[in-house]
Every structure is written in C-alpha cells, then in structure tokens.
A and B are shown apart, each in its own frame.
Chain A
Amino acid sequence: MKFSLDIKGSLTPFVAVARVFEEPKTICYPFEKKEIAKGYRGFHTNLLDKCIGCANCQDVCMNDAIDMIPIKEDRNPKNNSGCIPRIDYGRCCWCSLCTDVCPPSSLQLEEDCIWASDDSNNFLYMPKDK
C-alpha cells in the first residue's frame, strides 16, 4: 500500500480544539427551558362556551383518537348533543385536522406540550377550557 502524508488534512481538524472554550449549546433542562414557538402543535384546548358538540373532530380524526363524551354542565345552549371531545393521547398524532374542521373554532392546539404520568388513564385527555 502506497504511503502518502497529508499534512494539511492531519493538522486542520485541530481547529476543533478552539471550540472547547465556547459556551455549550445544550440546555440544562429542567433548570433552563427552550422557548416553544408560537403556533406549535401542542395540547388541545376547547372553549366550552363555543363548542357545539358536532363531532366533526371525531369524524375527521384518522387515528380514532377522539371520543365524544357527555358534558356534565350545560355551557353552550347550542350544544345539542350534550357531548364534548376527549382526546386519546396514545393515538393522537397532533396533525390538527380536528382544529381545521371545527366550525366555531372552539378546538385549538396550544404550545403546551409537557405531560408525564405513571397512570395511562391520564392520557385520555380532556382539553382544557381556556
């Protein structure tokens, strides 16, 4: 095998050493948090005063992640079905088609995206009423 010495190619990678003295790019989570962009597709919220219980969201969801469940208190007289959506976060893919088809735009996705629980039932998520 022919031996050839590439001096430049052997020495120039050492410029990487200069970066040792730079600020690290990593974030020290949870003490520092990354700012989440406006419009990020996070968790659902649902304005119960506007939700009409039409189940368009349940119809369009292609993962069958949305169930319409009876609401305990009557918040909107136009809600004839008496039901509001509940999202299964084990099935949801956060495509936001449900928010696109919501006629009164009561169902929205907010930037909130952090959720941890040791109980799987907690992932049957009832969207917060903003």
Chain B
Amino acid sequence: MENRLVKIYHGPQHPGITGNMSLELDLLGETIKGARTHVGYLHRGFEKLVERRTIIQAFTIVCRICVPEPDPNEENFARAIETLAGIEISDKAKYIRTMVLEMGRVASLLLWIGGQSGSIGLGTVGQWSLFDRDLILDLFEELTGGRVYHMYIYPGGVRRELPDGFLDKLSELLDYLEDRLPLYDKVFFDNASFKKRAIGVGVVNRDEALKNGYVGQVLRGCGIKRDTRRDNPYLVYEDLDFEIPTFDGCDVYARAMVRRGEIRESLKILRQIVAKMPKDGKIMQKIPKHRKFKIPKNDTFVSTESARGEYSYYMAGDGTEKIRRMQVKGASLIHGFTLLEKLLIDEELSNVAMIMNSLGICPPEIER
C-alpha cells in the first residue's frame, strides 16, 4: 500500500484553506490515509511584541491576532488589564462593548457562510453573505473609525461615544438581516446539495470532545451546551435573554446548524442592547498616561466567547508599565491540530475544505 500513497500539500496558498496553513496529506486515490498540519506561515510574534510595549501601545496591536473577528482580542486584553489594575467600567461602556462583540460575531458568522458554502461550490450565497457583512462593517466604520481592526475596546471603557442616530441605523440593519435569514435557509442551510455533502462527514467523537478541550460549535454541534457567556458571564450577558443553540449529529451539518442558530440569537441580543442601552454614563474611566500606566505584580485569566469558541488570555504584570507575559489561548489551536488530523483520516480529498471550514479554524489565531 505504501508504494501507492501520493503525498500532496494542501496549502498554504489554497482557496480551500481558511488562512495560511498547510496540510500534508497522504492519499490513496482520493482517500486520505495520513494528515499532518503545518503552521508557522502567520507567526508574527504578538506575545513578544506586547512585552516590549506599554499597555496603551499594546492595545492597538492585539486586534490583529485574529483577522475574521478582532474584537474578542480587544475585550480580553482590556478586561485583563482592568482586572489587574482594579478598574471598574460604567454600565454604558459594558453595553457598548457587548454590542461591538455581538456585531463582530454576526460579521464573522456571515464570513463563515461564505467560506463554508464556497468550499462545496455554492458560490452565490457567499457573495450575499459578504455583502451583508459589509453593511455591518459600514456601521463599524462609523462607530470606531475602522472597518476590520477597530481598536475601540480600550482598557477603562470604549474609545468613542456612539454617533448620533447609530442605534436607529443598527435597528434598521437588524430588520434587514432578520429578513435575509429565511433566504439563507432556502439557498444554503436547507439546500439538498449541502445536506448530502455535510451530513455524516467530519463526525466528532462526542465522548472525547470535552476531554480533549474542544470548544465552540464543535461542542455545541455534539449537543453539549457550553458557552462562556452563560458559564462564566462577563459584561452584560447575565442581563440578556438568549438561548445557546445546540444540535445533535456531531458532523459538519450539525455545526452549520449551530452557527445558523447563533446568528439568530446574536440578532436577538443586539435588539435587547438597542432597547436597554443607557443614555447616560461615562464611556471611559480616567486612566494614567501611557508611560505612567503601571499594572501590579499579579496575574489573571480572562475568557470571551468568540464566534469560534472560548477565547482566553492569560496576563501577568510585574509592577511596571509593560506587560510581563501575555498568553493567548485561541479556539482554533486544538481544532486545527488534534481534531483536524483525526477527522481527515479516511475522508475524501474534496471534503478537506468543507471540514476545515466547519471547525472554524483560524490560522492567524493559532500562531499569533
């Protein structure tokens, strides 16, 4: 058999890869008999860069760790600094931050629709979802001054006040997106082609899921209801009414249906935030100037639920104005290595891109 195995490299430049990551595949015909993940193409050294910068300087670069969804990085960084420095932010800042995180979640999930549908040849719905994501980016542009890298969630609060009429524009956008969801159901989620390709493919072992540390839709697609917003609430999630969608099946289809539910729930959360947004309150607490902003000698661990799963930061201060150590634990590391290499064995080559997209693997976040 070994003489008949063909080795190919799927990536790092490949439209079926979710970023720059290489898969070394041993093929017997079209069937994968061996898979190894190779990363390193996107290592930018963020954890070291942050150690050489003051806190305020470091805040501007953490968003670049993850390209599809930068905001959980900003939130984790800000919350870690606030925990170490003993800063309490206002309710208004908490609501604004929650709004930004949920808008980022919807944008990331719309980007996922584009990737997942494109991976199996459904090109049309990806064009739609990227346009709808662009409408969310337009709102981010107005709110933060940037479309993708917002640099908005600041230690102490948020950087800018809500523009006039912003909540009305957000409400209109929510109406539009809610009207679009049935169309996505017809063209993508209920599409016979997608179901035929996705059901029974990329099946995760439910019993190993928790033991191995899988997070996000991988867990919820196995029927396990785990979400940091519920298990370890932060910001204003305790005051909001939302469900954690789960789906039994453990396969690509189950994970897609979980994401479908999450889009619906995020739109519901945003509606509540628009209704409950405090009118008064400081958006930013007074913090020291950048060379004088010192954090005590202590450490903390904070988590946020990103669109891909639990996203955590470990941060340690040493009493100076620089961070002693910042360790990022993304949602994609375990999925991109352990899980992906397992799932690809005895799969068809044509299913590689679909399985990668369903796991929500983000190489920038794996490598920092």
A binds B: yes
Q: Residues of A at under 8 Å CB distance from B?
A: 6, 8-10, 12-13, 15-16, 25, 36-41, 59-60, 62, 93-97, 101, 109
Q: Does B174 contact A (CB under 8 A)?
A: no
Of all chain A residues, the one with the shortest Cβ separation from B192 is A9
Residues of A close to B146: CB separation below 8 A = 40-41, 94
Residues of B close to A95: CB separation below 8 A = 60, 151
Distance, CA A93 to CA B62, complexed state (A)? 12
Q: Out of A10, A15, A40, A97, name the residue touching B141 (CB < 8 Å).
A: A40
Q: A12-B187, A16-B125, A95-B60 are in contact. List 20 more A-B contacts (CB 8 A).
A: A6-B192, A6-B195, A9-B190, A9-B193, A9-B195, A13-B192, A15-B183, A16-B124, A36-B141, A40-B141, A41-B145, A41-B146, A60-B56, A62-B60, A96-B145, A97-B56, A97-B57, A101-B289, A101-B290, A109-B145
CB pair A60 B190 closer than 8 Å? no
Residues of B close to A25: CB separation below 8 A = 131
CB pair B191 A9 closer than 8 Å? yes
Of all chain A residues, the one with the shortest Cβ separation from B127 is A25
CB pair A13 B187 closer than 8 Å? yes
CB pair A39 B290 closer than 8 Å? no
CB pair A15 B151 closer than 8 Å? no
CB pair A15 B187 closer than 8 Å? yes
Expressed in whole angstroms, the minimum distance between the Cβ of B288 and any Cβ of chain A is 12
Chain B contact-residue range equals: 20 to 34
The 0/1 profile, CB within 8 Å of A marked 1, for residues 207-225 of chain B is 0000000000000000000
Q: Does B160 contact A (CB under 8 A)?
A: yes
Q: Does B85 contact A (CB under 8 A)?
A: no
Distance, CA A57 to CA B348, complexed state (A)? 55
Of all chain A residues, the one with the shortest Cβ separation from B53 is A62
Residues of B close to A12: CB separation below 8 A = 186-187, 190-191
Distance, CA A37 to CA B169, complexed state (A)? 13
Q: Does B349 contact A (CB under 8 A)?
A: no
Of all chain B residues, the one with the shortest Cβ separation from A93 is B60
Q: Does B61 contact A (CB under 8 A)?
A: yes
Of all chain B residues, the one with the shortest Cβ separation from A25 is B131
Q: Does B175 contact A (CB under 8 A)?
A: no
Expressed in whole angstroms, the minimum distance between the Cβ of A74 and any Cβ of chain B is 29
The 0/1 profile, CB within 8 Å of A marked 1, for residues 165-195 of chain B is 0000000000000000001001110111101
